[in-house]
């Protein structure tokens, strides 16, 4: 019988497999969402109070109202840019980076070297 930890770990693994982002995707985001993602990318994981503190430390011209931050966090979570664990003040947000495709160049180099060494 799986426990709470097992269920949470499975949920994290499932969410990490969904979507994700690349650095080039950031340019397509609206300014408010891009600002939050830039803050998140500095740490990769922040809880809600830490995120509020990071936003409060921004210059006045760049600071977002907390209702906009909450809406942006919901949008970023739904679009799989962020992974949310928990809810409300106890929520933890993690950046959902895409896994990079493996390189085929390396295997080609090793195959070539192997064939030359066999000769």
For residue 102, the model assigns a pLDDT of 47
Residue ranges, the chain, pLDDT below 70: 1-23, 98-109, 119
Q: Are 55 and 39 in contact (CB under 8 A)?
A: yes
Q: What are the boundaries of each domain within the chain?
A: 4-118
pLDDT of residue 28: 81
pLDDT of residue 27: 80
Architecture of domain 4-118 in this structure? Orthogonal Bundle (1.10)
Amino acid 22: pLDDT: 62
Q: Residue 47 has what pLDDT? A: 94
Q: pTM, whole model, 2 decimals?
A: 0.62
Provide the pLDDT for residue 85.
93
pLDDT of residue 21: 60
Sign of the dihedral defined by the CA atoms of residues 12, 17, 22, 28, in that order: negative
DSSP per residue, 83-112: EEES-GGG-EEEE-BPPPPPPSHHHHHHHH
């Amino acid at each position: 019988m799986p426990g709470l930890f097992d269920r949470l770990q499975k949920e994290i693994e499932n969410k990490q497999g969904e979507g994700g982002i690349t650095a080039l995707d950031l340019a397509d985001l609206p300014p408010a969402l891009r600002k939050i993602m830039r803050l998140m990318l500095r740490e990769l994981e922040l809880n809600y109070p830490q995120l509020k503190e990071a936003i409060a430390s921004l210059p006045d011209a760049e600071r977002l109202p907390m209702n906009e931050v909450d809406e942006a966090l919901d949008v970023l979570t739904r679009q799989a840019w962020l992974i949310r664990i928990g809810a409300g003040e106890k929520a933890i947000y993690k950046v959902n980076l895409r896994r990079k495709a493996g390189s085929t160049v390396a295997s080609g180099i090793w195959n070539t070297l192997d064939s030359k060494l066999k000769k």
